[in-house]
């Protein structure tokens, strides 16, 4: 970054500090990851200068030869990786992708059956604070007493509510979804099916879990979580929804696509086709399982009964009498980033909830395996149990730094 350093030392220093923070800490926010150097390089390029409204071969501005080439390549790779009939790589991120997908197939007032936020769903799946909840009529399903989605209840709700769209997917639910059941229920009530795979896209691409793409009409995702690409979004769908989705993206919601991001996405999708990525995706599942077992041993209550993916939702308040906010702060002090999170029907407030959510996809990118996970579980437990003891937290912080040095990121 020699030009940046010369031109703007202030910004340069802030970026260098963030680089150091990422190097010396453990990123365990379930929605984050570390992209490769190749993705970083592809992200910072001259395509940021280019306006490209429209789609390859059908643009509203000239000079599109290479923008067309790179967007077409990203689409081709995504189609192959996920077995999708149609792909749009222009959504700027996950929240707009969901909003765009709703608008493509729903009219104002139409009913959507989606997962409750506190049971693992996402804000954009119809939480009352969102704009989409002002336009569409969201009804929400929850997990049952065993912590899993109760498909019989879901079916009953679908029959009673007759939604136009049934939405699967989550941001904190940790169990494998039964794609066929969603498909069967939707068929019974004549609903369109949509799944938001933002969290698990990398696990699907790496063939570590089953691919939902054949079972759903519309699939939305971000590209920067387990998929390990640049920050962005993507919508896949069956051919019959292709025109509606493309029109909803542009001109419906967005203007010029960020072609530099799309170039970086093409690189990430190329990486995800490789054998190494498959190994990576399988290791994520192994690491998450070991973390689950270790944290259980330390007396943590794991929501949804455990994990089948890359993350865990812990009831830290119920297990240790420490709130999610206090736990997040304690873990920040030792250099482990997580996020406080509500647990199903949480009695506490979202800014100081009962839970924390922990993910292993980023540390697995750093090549950490079962042995390191055991150490990390011990640190998490010690930090939470001693959350008021700065001396103990400082000592653990040094241990975390030592481990990080053994697993360098961008050096
Ligand atoms: N912010 C992402 C997450 O943490 O799940 C998606 O909202």
Asked if residue 309 has its Cβ within 6 Å of ligand 1, the reply is no
Pick the CATH number of 280-406 from 3.50.50.60, 3.90.1150.10, 3.40.720.10, 3.40.640.10: 3.90.1150.10
Which of 340, 226, 335, 240 lies closest to 288, judged by CA?
Answer: 226
* Residues contacting residue 141 through CB under 8 Å, at least 6 positions apart: 113, 114, 115, 116, 119, 149, 153, 154, 157
C-alpha distances (whole Å) from 71 to each of 103, 111, 232, 243, 257 are 23, 34, 13, 17, 10
CA-closest residue to ligand 1 atom 2? 31
Which of 81, 54, 111, 363 lies closest to 197, judged by CA?
Answer: 81
Asked if residue 31 has its Cβ within 6 Å of ligand 1, the reply is yes
Q: Is 355 helix (H, G, I), strand (E, B) or coil?
A: strand
- CB burial of residue 2 (10 Å; 0-12, 13-18, 19+): exposed
Q: What CA–CA distance (Å, rounded) separates 181 from 268?
A: 31
Q: What CA–CA distance (Å, rounded) separates 241 from 321?
A: 49
Active site residue 231: yes
Atom number, ligand 1, closest to the C-alpha of residue 122: 7
Ligand 1 centroid–CA 32 distance in Å is 8
CA-closest residue to ligand 1 atom 4? 31
User: For helices 370-385 and 275-297, what crossing angle results, to 10°?
Assistant: 40
Q: Which of 225, 320, 382, 397 is catalytic?
A: 225
Helix, strand and coil content of the chain, in percent to the nearest 5, comes to 50, 15, 35
Which of 216, 211, 226 lies closest to 191, judged by CA?
Answer: 216
Q: Would strands 233-237 and 336-337 be described as parallel, antiparallel, or unpaired?
A: unpaired
The first and second tokens of residue 130, run together, are 């969102």
Q: What is the chain's pLDDT, residue by residue, as a tens digit (411 residues)?
A: 999 999 999 999 999 999 999 999 999 999 999 999 999 999 999 999 999 999 999 999 999 999 999 999 999 999 999 999 999 999 999 999 999 999 999 999 999 999 999 999 999 999 999 999 999 999 999 998 889 999 999 999 999 999 999 999 999 999 999 999 999 999 999 999 999 999 999 999 999 999 999 999 999 999 999 999 999 999 999 999 999 999 999 999 999 999 999 999 999 999 999 999 999 999 999 999 999 999 999 999 999 999 999 999 999 999 999 999 999 999 999 999 999 999 999 999 999 999 999 999 999 999 999 999 999 999 999 999 999 999 999 999 999 999 999 999 987
Active site residue 222: yes
The answer to whether 160 touches 167, Cβ cutoff 8 Å, is: no
Residue in 129, 171, 356 to alter for ligand 1 test, most ligand atoms within 8 A of Cβ: 171
Q: What CA–CA distance (Å, rounded) separates 175 from 159?
A: 24
The first and second tokens of residue 240, run together, are 């019959």
Asked if residue 130 has its Cβ within 6 Å of ligand 1, the reply is no
- CB burial of residue 317 (10 Å; 0-12, 13-18, 19+): buried
Give residue limits of the domains in the chain. Answer: 40-271, 280-406
Ligand 1 centroid–CA 31 distance in Å is 6
Q: What CA–CA distance (Å, rounded) separates 338 from 347?
A: 21
CATH code of the region 40-271 = 3.40.640.10
The first and second tokens of residue 236, run together, are 């896949």
Q: How many CA atoms lie within 13 A of 383 on its CB side?
A: 30
Query: Terminus-to-terminus CA distance in the chain, angstroms?
Result: 14
CA-closest residue to ligand 1 atom 5? 171
Q: What CA–CA distance (Å, rounded) separates 341 from 118?
A: 8
Residues linked to residue 195 through DSSP beta bridges, in sequence order: 168, 219
pLDDT digits (tens, 9 = 90+) for 180-209: 999 999 999 999 999 999 999 999 999 999
pLDDT digits (tens, 9 = 90+) for 267-291: 999 999 999 999 999 999 999 999 9
Q: Would strands 111-115 and 165-169 be described as parallel, antiparallel, or unpaired?
A: parallel
Q: Can you give the pTM of this predicted structure? A: 0.96
Active site residue 274: no
């Amino acid at each position: 970054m020699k030009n940046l350093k010369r031109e703007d030392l202030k910004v340069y220093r802030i970026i260098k500090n963030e680089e150091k923070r990422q190097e010396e800490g453990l990123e365990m926010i379930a929605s984050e990851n570390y992209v490769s150097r190749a993705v970083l390089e592809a992200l910072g390029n001259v395509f940021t200068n280019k306006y490209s409204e429209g789609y390859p071969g059908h643009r509203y501005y000239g000079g599109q030869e290479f923008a067309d080439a790179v967007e077409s390549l990203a689409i081709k790779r995504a189609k192959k990786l996920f077995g999708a009939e149609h792909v749009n790589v222009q959504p700027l991120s996950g929240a707009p992708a969901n909003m765009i997908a709703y608008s493509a197939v729903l009219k104002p007032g139409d009913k959507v059956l989606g997962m409750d936020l506190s049971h693992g769903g996402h804000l954009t799946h119809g939480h009352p604070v969102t704009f989409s909840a002002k336009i569409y009529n969201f009804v929400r399903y929850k997990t049952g007493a065993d912590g899993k989605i109760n498909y019989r209840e879901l079916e009953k709700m679908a029959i009673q509510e007759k939604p136009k769209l049934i939405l699967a997917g989550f941001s904190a639910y940790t169990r494998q979804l039964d794609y066929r059941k969603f498909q069967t229920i939707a068929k019974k009530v004549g609903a369109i099916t949509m799944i938001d795979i933002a969290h698990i896209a990398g696990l699907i691409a790496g063939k570590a879990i089953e691919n939902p793409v054949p079972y759903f009409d519309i699939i939305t995702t971000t590209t920067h979580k387990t998929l390990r690409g640049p920050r962005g979004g993507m919508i896949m769908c069956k051919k019959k929804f292709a025109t509606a989705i493309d029109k909803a993206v542009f001109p419906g919601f967005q203007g010029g696509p960020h072609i530099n991001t799309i170039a970086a996405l093409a690189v990430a999708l190329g990486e995800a086709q490789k054998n190494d990525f498959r190994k990576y995706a399988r290791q994520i599942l192994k690491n998450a399982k070991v973390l689950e077992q270790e944290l259980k041993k330390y007396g943590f209550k794991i929501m949804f009964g455990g994990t089948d993916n890359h993350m865990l939702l812990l009831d830290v308040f119920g297990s240790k009498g420490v709130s999610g906010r206090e736990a997040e702060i304690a873990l920040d002090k030792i250099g482990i980033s997580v996020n406080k999170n509500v647990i199903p029907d949480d009695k506490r407030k979202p800014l100081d909830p009962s839970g924390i959510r922990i993910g292993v996809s980023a540390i697995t990118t750093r090549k950490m395996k079962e042995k390191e996970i055991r150490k990390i579980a011990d640190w998490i437990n010690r930090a939470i149990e001693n959350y008021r003891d700065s001396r103990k937290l400082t000592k653990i912080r040094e241990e975390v730094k030592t481990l990080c040095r053994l697993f360098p990121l961008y050096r």
